[in-house]
Chains A and B, each alone.
Chain A
Amino acid sequence: MSVQALLDVLDRAHTGPVCSVKDWDTKVIPGKVSEKLSEHGLKGTCTPENPINTEDSLADEFWHAGFELAVDVGMLCLDTERVIKFTEEELNEAIRNAPSEVILGEGLDKVLMKARKPEDKTTPLYCAPIGIEASEDLWIPLIQGIAQHRVIDMIQGCSLKTVLGRQLRSGTPYETLAGRVQAQMHREALWRAGRPGMCATSVITSPTVYGQLGGYGVPGGYRTSDLALVLSPAELKTSYVSLHKVIHAINCGGSIFAGSSSVIGGYAGPVEGSTVAMVACALLQIAVHQSGWGSCSVIDMRYNGNCGRDAQWAISVAFQGISRNSRLLTQSVLNQVGGPCTDMLLYESAVGMMNLSASGISFSIGPRSAGGRYADYISPLECKFCAEVLKSSAGMKRSEVSELAKLLIPKYEDKLRNPPKGKSFTECFDLKTLRPTKEWLDIYLKVKNELIDLGVPLE
């Protein structure tokens, strides 16, 4: 991570071409994305009937279109309304200089993350859970319950609902305090789980910069061996909030994990447009935010998730394209909408995890149980299930995953817009033993056995 590279980014955020947010959203992004789709013959290439791509040439074409989009448009800084642009050589250099493997965590909990290719037998890593809001009194047992599963490699944690009993408001001193408080709770949970050295992506309770300033790299806070989390509000946009987080991580000697999501139906338009934008977004996270990972996800605005056919197709194409054409570490998030203690959540997870694994992802963070909509609607069991499927799928052929997806997606696709809420952590787990209720365990075993019968190499 280079201070000089960061200074270049900051300078460009002040001197780059002027562009209003409105023009960016309504003209620059849709116009340039459409242009790239036309130039590369990619319009109308999505095949919902085959939701996992198996064509290398198509993935490669999306990679080329995404790379060109990244060079042509760059990333808009919302605070200065100027565009941070890179030449083709600069972007190539940033990609070349990014790591292909990295050791994360400390002591016995260290893990090795490697760049992968589609159908790679190298095992991807899983980080759980994504920042669903959780009550303060449940936070430690919930994270402990997740970390106790050795199949899970890293911890992100949940967003705190309150801090020391007070309402936690974005951008206020409560948020600064929450950064430190969450770090302490995180350590306690990992210690209780017997995995004190697990790497964290932190600070998830930092909607503005204050949580990060209060909790990352400070005494008693998250360690600099943990990854500093920098999330942007939309693909191809950054802000001073994100850049402050980057600089704070560099100041502390830490490493950065940056990402964002494209929206199907949003600024980049149709599913093919979002796919191109995903590739560009992943590459620019490395150049703009000094991220060690090419990270991006996608959301389908019709149901605010990404386990339907179009979104799964977009994920498969984007990450096959990136992993086939670079040696980057990559990450993406699965956004399930079914809630804990429902088979829908597990079917969504199975499709998504197999897809990510077969499409060459290095690691995934999740799950977003119940769409992340409800506080405490997350449990350790679906985290374990996701990790199991992600890892066991390493080496599966995309054609096999595609056939399985065609069998599994019909089990839930008609419920994506009105999914079952399921049960909260306290309703589907015993907090004393940190074990699932019989009902939830039975659902898990039923779906797992079904997948085994279908040929998924789960243990």
Chain B
Amino acid sequence: MSKEETLDKLIQAIINGDEAEAKKITEDALAAGMDPLDVVKKGAVKAMDIIGEKWRRFEMFLSHVMLAADAMKSVMAVLLPKITAEQKSTFSLGRVVLGTVSGDIHDIGKNLVGTLLSVAGFEVHDIGVDIPYKDFIEKAKELNADIIAMSCLLSTSMYFQKDIIQYLEDAGLREKYYVIVGGGPVTADWTTEIGADGWGKYADDAVTVCKRLVTGGVRPPLPKPILIGE
């Protein structure tokens, strides 16, 4: 099989959400001597571009995109050990710890944001729903994350977003992580009030917000948050 054919097969396996097949093609490609960086850029990244476009056109839906993102993660798990940190910086946009805050078990908005961020090239660590604020911080420390992302659909759980930022400040950790917030009742005003770094009105705005944060050249906390859609 030619290099191009291998990459096409990999792209299709990722789009199909076939985790096992995508992983096997990647392993076979490396065994055949293909450059791991080529496999990332011409295979995995290209697949995610196609998926992102299908999502925007409403030709793929959440569950399918989640499976595709998982397939991509399995590919990256094979490739990353073969890639230098410098090479990684050419395609990985950063590491995100994502969850829904305490008292709230809504997951669809979080799952959508996590999936779209993965598709866009972020390394997303989804820690689930109803998450105590310290768990966000512990995970961010453990992974040396760039961004903490907090979802919330209940107005009565929004306060926990504020708690996390307050704790980061009190613990002297605020400069280490960008913090973004989102969810039904979460507004631009609330984002500004609690001192978060970014907010988007819709789930897909999270990609724009995160890209601007990690490429903006300003360390957290931002003097004014990035607000998309208000």
Chain A 257-276, CB within 8 Å of chain B: the 1/0 string? Answer: 00000010111011001000
Complex-state Cα separation, A373 to B104, whole angstroms: 16
Interface assignment of B107: CB less than 8 Å from any CB of chain A: yes
Establish whether residues B159 and A372, one from each chain, have CB atoms under 8 Å apart when the complex forms.
no
Chain B residues in 8 Å Cβ range of A169? 102-103, 156-157, 159-160
A148 to chain B, nearest CB (A): 26
Establish whether residues B66 and A241, one from each chain, have CB atoms under 8 Å apart when the complex forms.
no
**Residue in A closest to B153 when the chains form the complex, CB atoms:** A233
Complex-state Cα separation, A168 to B157, whole angstroms: 8
Q: B184: which of A25, A172, A266, A373 is its contact (CB, 8 Å)?
A: A373
Complex-state Cα separation, A157 to B202, whole angstroms: 26
Establish whether residues A233 and B106, one from each chain, have CB atoms under 8 Å apart when the complex forms.
yes
**Residue in A closest to B17 when the chains form the complex, CB atoms:** A26
Interface assignment of B203: CB less than 8 Å from any CB of chain A: yes
Interface assignment of A208: CB less than 8 Å from any CB of chain B: yes
Establish whether residues B103 and A161, one from each chain, have CB atoms under 8 Å apart when the complex forms.
no
B107 to chain A, nearest CB (A): 7
Interface assignment of A30: CB less than 8 Å from any CB of chain B: yes
Interface assignment of A171: CB less than 8 Å from any CB of chain B: yes
Chain A 335-373, CB within 8 Å of chain B: the 1/0 string? Answer: 000000000000000000000000000000000000111
Establish whether residues B184 and A26, one from each chain, have CB atoms under 8 Å apart when the complex forms.
no
**Size class of B's contact patch?**
20 to 34
Establish whether residues B61 and A269, one from each chain, have CB atoms under 8 Å apart when the complex forms.
yes
Establish whether residues A171 and B108, one from each chain, have CB atoms under 8 Å apart when the complex forms.
no
Establish whether residues B159 and A207, one from each chain, have CB atoms under 8 Å apart when the complex forms.
no
Interface assignment of A29: CB less than 8 Å from any CB of chain B: yes
Interface assignment of A175: CB less than 8 Å from any CB of chain B: yes
Establish whether residues B58 and A265, one from each chain, have CB atoms under 8 Å apart when the complex forms.
yes
Establish whether residues B66 and A418, one from each chain, have CB atoms under 8 Å apart when the complex forms.
no
Establish whether residues B155 and A133, one from each chain, have CB atoms under 8 Å apart when the complex forms.
yes
**Residue in B closest to A310 when the chains form the complex, CB atoms:** B58
Complex-state Cα separation, A258 to B155, whole angstroms: 20
Q: Find residues 99-114 in chain B having any chain A CB closer than 8 Å to their own CB.
A: 102-108, 111-112
Chain B residues in 8 Å Cβ range of A29? 63
Chain B residues in 8 Å Cβ range of A302? 58
Which residue among A241, A266, A372 has the maximum number of chain B CB atoms within 10 Å of its CB?
A266
Q: B108: which of A208, A263, A270, A303 is its contact (CB, 8 Å)?
A: A263
Chain A binding surface SS class = loop
**Size class of A's contact patch?**
35 or more
Q: Find residues 197-239 in chain A having any chain B CB closer than 8 Å to their own CB.
A: 205, 207-208, 233-234, 239
Complex-state Cα separation, A133 to B111, whole angstroms: 24
Chain B 68-82, CB within 8 Å of chain A: the 1/0 string? Answer: 001000000000000
Chain B residues in 8 Å Cβ range of A170? 102-104, 154, 156-157, 160
Q: B155: which of A269, A270, A375 is its contact (CB, 8 Å)?
A: A375
Interface assignment of B50: CB less than 8 Å from any CB of chain A: no
Chain A residues in 8 Å Cβ range of B104? 170, 207
Chain A 147-171, CB within 8 Å of chain B: the 1/0 string? Answer: 0000000000001010000011111
Interface assignment of A78: CB less than 8 Å from any CB of chain B: yes
Establish whether residues B102 and A171, one from each chain, have CB atoms under 8 Å apart when the complex forms.
yes
Which residue among A29, A208, A263, A303 has the maximum number of chain B CB atoms within 10 Å of its CB?
A208
Interface assignment of B134: CB less than 8 Å from any CB of chain A: no
B54 to chain A, nearest CB (A): 12
Interface assignment of A301: CB less than 8 Å from any CB of chain B: yes
Complex-state Cα separation, A241 to B155, whole angstroms: 17
Complex-state Cα separation, A30 to B106, whole angstroms: 18
Establish whether residues A418 and B157, one from each chain, have CB atoms under 8 Å apart when the complex forms.
no
Q: Find residues 1-29 in chain A having any chain B CB closer than 8 Å to their own CB.
A: 21, 25-27, 29
Q: A30: which of B61, B111, B185, B187 is its contact (CB, 8 Å)?
A: B61
Interface assignment of B30: CB less than 8 Å from any CB of chain A: no
A273 to chain B, nearest CB (A): 8
Q: A266 and B108 in contact (CB under 8 A), knowing A301-B203, A373-B185? A: yes
Establish whether residues B62 and A159, one from each chain, have CB atoms under 8 Å apart when the complex forms.
no
Interface assignment of B172: CB less than 8 Å from any CB of chain A: no
Q: A267: which of B108, B160, B229 is its contact (CB, 8 Å)?
A: B108
Q: A267 and B62 in contact (CB under 8 A), knowing A373-B184, A374-B187, A375-B155? A: yes
Chosen A-B contacts, 14 in total, with CB atoms closer than 8 Å, are A25-B63, A26-B70, A30-B63, A159-B155, A169-B103, A169-B156, A169-B159, A171-B103, A172-B103, A207-B104, A207-B156, A265-B58, A266-B108, A267-B63
